Chains A and B, each alone.
Chain A
Amino acid sequence: MALFDFTIKELEEKLHNKEITVQDLVDESFNRIKEVDGEVNAFLTLNEENARTYAKELDEKEDAAASLFGIPAGIKDNIMTKGLRTTCASQFLDNFEDPLYDATVMEKLSKEKPVNIGKLNMDEFAMGSSNENSSYTPTRNPWNTDYVPGGSSGGSAASVAAGEVLFSLGSDTGGSIRQPAAFCGVVGMKPTYGRVSRFGLVAFASSLDQIGPITRTVEDNARVLEVIAGHDKMDATSANVEVPKYTEALTNDVKGLKIAVPKEYLAKGVSPEVREHIMNALKVYESLGATWEEVSLPHSKYAVATYYLLSSSEASANLARFDGVRYGVRSENADNMIDMFKKSRSEGFGQEVKRRIMLGTFALSSGYYDAYYKKAQKVRTLIKNDFDKIFEDYDVVVGPTTPTPAFKVGEKTDDPLTMYANDILTIPVNLAGVPGISVPCGFSGEGLPIGLQIIGKHFDESTVYRTAHAFEQATDHHTKRPQIGGAK
């Protein structure tokens, strides 16, 4: 058994009993990275020297009060880390060696003393569903490196699945935590919009972005969210709502839980294999005393179009800050200011980023604003209302995280719309702002993981975690490991 097969709680005990040291944990991380990351490409920047120094420091002064004491973690490369290069996997920020400050989630984490192992690969500026939009070598799926790990938090999911770190942080705008978690067979939580501060997260679509944890178990996930959640005066959109102890919600009791299963989430487009695993999961819930009924989210088929208009519009505004003046890479081929903006941006941004900036600029431009942007905002209301209505009668919504298991590298890169359609089951959750988790629920015939998505009411992550945990504990999918570099 490898060290990262234990939960954070179990490792805490081992540290306390002096069976292991923090340095052992950090060694485990870097050894594993050396062993498999040449194939997986989960990391963009390693924090090795600092991590080893910090581990030594932690070993010299035990602090039982810190809930993530000595636990190796990876951070998605769109989260600001003081003194540590932050690129968003974009050539535009290739030279961004020091963001000068820590994101609020990093400040909150540091109080609980995990060890930051490094920064994780992603689709450039979090735009993508496969990691193939990384401007560096894209991450591969540890279960089978011919397949994509999902995106945009592909590095965050792959690093945990491959046993390189025990937890990671990702960000989710339209499924970017849950979809890669499903593809890589790990647990990924997108909290309620406003639950976690976005201060220091490089903004993609500000009304949709949320930071969340990726872990091997639901318990570890709840433990990390407990640390990073909460109101922050540096983020005016963070909610001033009390953060419960999520780990205390893991009661293993779902008797009487009312589950809604949207028929649209099991419709054509969802592979028979995925459907079968979701039906099996529902049987597990029945055996645990929960009940489920079919419901409808009638507007969910409009979610992808709504999402691409809104997220691209917000992105076109947010990415205006990348002008080559204050940070980032500046084109050397410009002779006046406007030319410098244009050339720096065109040389620094990849194809998908430019496409979305163009779509968003178009949707916000004079004469088209009402027809596209405002229309999409109105449809967003309808999608949100669908969820509100279901949650009047049910505790959680359950379905697949993705229509299919991971697809092959290169399979969907030719047509943006085919790639976008992959997010049809995760996008509505962001539009409604509700929390959603993906937990492993089995494997395809080809041995690729399949994810079960559980969606809850606003600020009711506790019920989402309780539902996810009960399923996890009744099954053994989360104990399976990819065979890359030998099972770890």
Chain B
Amino acid sequence: MADISKEQVKHVAHLARLAVTDEEVEQLTEELGAIIHYAEQLNELDTDNVEPTTHVLDIKNVMRKDEPREWITQEEALKNAPDKKDGQFRVPSILE
């Protein structure tokens, strides 16, 4: 596994929806490289026959009835919105 490149850092930043400056790309390339290098110590372990743990408890497929219930009102849902109009969230244009 190779070091992470600046191009990869830019790509990952886009996937994560983060705007990064050139300086931040420099810094993140170095820092992520060091962390990933550190994480590669896990390769010392043979895990071919080990099941992954996603969750420590033996709980699977917790189901409930799909029933409508009282929750917050439309007005409340919009209360913390940075921008709203006519009872809806307002955002910048999506289409170019």
Contacts and interface: CB of A to CB of B under 8 A. Distances in A.
A329 B82 CA distance: 6
B92 A384 contact: no
A374 to B, nearest CB: 6
A358 B92 contact: no
Interface in B77-96: 77, 79-83, 89, 91-94, 96
Contact of B41 (A236, A305, A349): A305
Chain B facing A: main interface SS: loop
A474 B73 CA distance: 54
Contact of B45 (A236, A325, A340, A379): A379
B94 A346 contact: no
A390 B16 CA distance: 40
Contacts of A329: 82
Given A325-B89, A358-B13, A379-B45, A101 B72 contact: yes
A236 B32 contact: no
A207 B55 contact: yes
B68 interface: no
Nearest to B8: A362
A381 B16 contact: no
A342 B18 contact: yes
Nearest to B40: A305
Interface in B11-30: 12-13, 15-20, 24, 28
Contacts of B8: 362
Contacts of A375: 42-43, 47
Contacts of A432: 56
Contact of A237 (B12, B18, B59, B89): B59
A361 interface: yes
A85 B41 CA distance: 42
Most chain A beta-carbon contacts within 10 A, residue among B16, B20, B79: B16
Contacts of A39: none
B12 A346 contact: no
A259 B93 CA distance: 62
B19 to A, nearest CB: 4
Contact of A416 (B31, B77, B83): B31
A431 B42 CA distance: 15
Contacts of B62: 236-237
Contacts of B57: 193-194, 237, 239, 433, 458
Q: A interface, how many residues as a size bin?
A: 35 or more
A17 interface: no
Contact of A377 (B43, B52, B91): B52
Contacts of A320: 17
B18 A207 contact: no
A338 B17 CA distance: 7
Given A327-B81, A358-B9, A376 B42 contact: yes
Given A101-B72, A193-B56, A357-B18, A340 B80 contact: no
Contacts of A406: none
A309 B87 CA distance: 40
A325 B12 contact: no
A339 to B, nearest CB: 7
B18 to A, nearest CB: 5
A31 interface: no
Most chain B beta-carbon contacts within 10 A, residue among A349, A358, A376: A358
Contacts of A346: 18-20
Contact of B92 (A207, A239, A334, A433): A334
A71 B35 CA distance: 44
Given A345-B18, A358-B16, A358-B32, A382 B89 contact: no
A343 B9 CA distance: 17
Given A207-B54, A237-B55, A337 B92 contact: yes
Given A237-B55, A334-B92, A326 B15 contact: no
Given A236-B62, A309-B39, A384 B53 contact: yes
Given A207-B54, A329-B82, 16 more contacts: A97-B80, A100-B76, A194-B56, A237-B55, A237-B59, A239-B57, A299-B45, A302-B41, A305-B39, A308-B39, A337-B92, A339-B92, A343-B19, A377-B53, A377-B54, A381-B52
Interface of A: 95-98, 100-101, 193-194, 207, 233, 236-237, 239, 299, 302, 305-306, 308-309, 316, 320, 323-330, 334-343, 345-346, 349, 354-355, 357-359, 361-362, 365, 371-372, 374-382, 384, 416-417, 431-433, 458
Kindly list the 10 A-B residue pairs having the minimum CB-CB distance in the complex, ordered from nearest.
A433-B56, A377-B52, A327-B80, A330-B82, A378-B47, A236-B62, A342-B19, A361-B16, A346-B19, A378-B50
14 contacts: A95-B80, A207-B56, A239-B57, A309-B42, A326-B80, A339-B92, A345-B18, A359-B35, A361-B12, A362-B12, A379-B42, A379-B47, A381-B52, A416-B35
